Amino acid sequence: MISVENLTKDYAGFRAVQGISFSVQKGEIVGFLGPNGAGKTTTMRILAGYLPPTGGKVAVAGHDIVAESLEARRHVGYMPENVPLYTDLRVNEYLVYRARLKGVRGKKVRERVEAVNRLCHLDEVKNKVIGNLSKGYRQRVGLADALVHEPDLLILDEPTIGLDPHQIRSVRDLIRSLGNRHTILLSSHILSEVEAVCTRVLILHRGKIEAADTPENLARLIRGGGLGAIRVEVSCGSEDARRAFAQLPDVETVNCRAEREGWSVLEIAPKAGKDIRDGIFSIVQKQNWRLREMSRVRASLEDIFVELTQD
């Protein structure tokens, strides 16, 4: 659905995007992540046909974004970070206008407007003036606008920005449901949202792609290819537990996280590629301690993001 080869974009001598290459297959929901200024929005605007690239090749649904711009844009629904709405129009009026601008004709206009109203849960506000709507409903109108011409590809730049937790959950569920019918490229600073929705992530830093994989595979790489740290809660003093577990040959570090009422919570990091769970259990048995918890500490997408984009 998306093919990007050696894409560059320059602004007055500054290279915002530095020769990146990636692809997105049909039906994927891909998170596009990076700190502010990394080049995410610039790349998304190029994919949507709003900006020309300085160099490289970009194709959407098999159409070159420069040589076949109009044909490529027919396949794209773009929702920018700050949705530009005509606040003096009613929701239905705005969506009819936008559908006609995007080439929808005849009876199909009303059909598509009714369909996106249902899909984005706008039926109860469809006759209201956009300027009187809440932030959550305005975001839904922007999403309905992106969907009204039935695009194959949805590009969503910070779709939940400024929403309260209930609105975020509602929009997130809607995006997840859209993944059954559309390819989606999603940018968001709410990493838990990306982790919950996306099948794969691209992490951009200083105009370059630092990683492109599933969150699970990236977590495995961040943890050195092993199981990651093991969290243990045992019935003994923290110093006794630390000394005992540190003696295991495949243990890298042992850190005490808490000690209360005769129980100690520790995180034990293994050496790369090593599984230390059997060794931990053997020490617990040998010391005649009680074991209340032994679990893997999984690297979150936030851990991965910080690890790959810190200076």
DSSP-assigned letters across all residues of 168-194: HHHHHHHHHHHTTTSEEEEE-S-HHHH
Residues of the chain predicted below pLDDT 50: 225-226
CATH of the domain at 71: 3.40.50.300
CA count, 13 A, side-chain hemisphere, 167: 13
Query: What is the number of structural domains in the chain?
Result: 2
Do residues 193 and 252 both lie within one domain?
no
Do residues 139 and 274 both lie within one domain?
no
Cβ-based neighbours of 166, under 8 Å, separated by 6 or more? none
pTM above threshold 0.85: no
Do residues 97 and 141 both lie within one domain?
yes
User: What pLDDT score does 290 carry?
Assistant: 94
User: What pLDDT score does 27 carry?
Assistant: 87
Residue where a domain stops, chosen among 221, 240, 263: 221
Do residues 197 and 240 both lie within one domain?
no
User: What pLDDT score does 225 carry?
Assistant: 47
Q: Give the C-alpha distances (Å, rounded to integers) separating 193 from 135, 175, 178, 204, 274.
A: 18, 10, 15, 18, 31
Q: What is the Cα–Cα distance from 285 to 182, expressed in whole angstroms? A: 53
Q: Which of 195, 181, 201, 197 is nearest to 300 (CA)?
A: 195
β-bridge partners, 24:
2
Range of the domain at 278: 225-309
Do residues 48 and 174 both lie within one domain?
yes
For 41-83, how does the pLDDT look when each residue is reduced to its tens digit (9 = 90+)? 999 999 999 899 999 999 999 999 999 999 999 999 999 988 8
Cβ-based neighbours of 220, under 8 Å, separated by 6 or more? 228
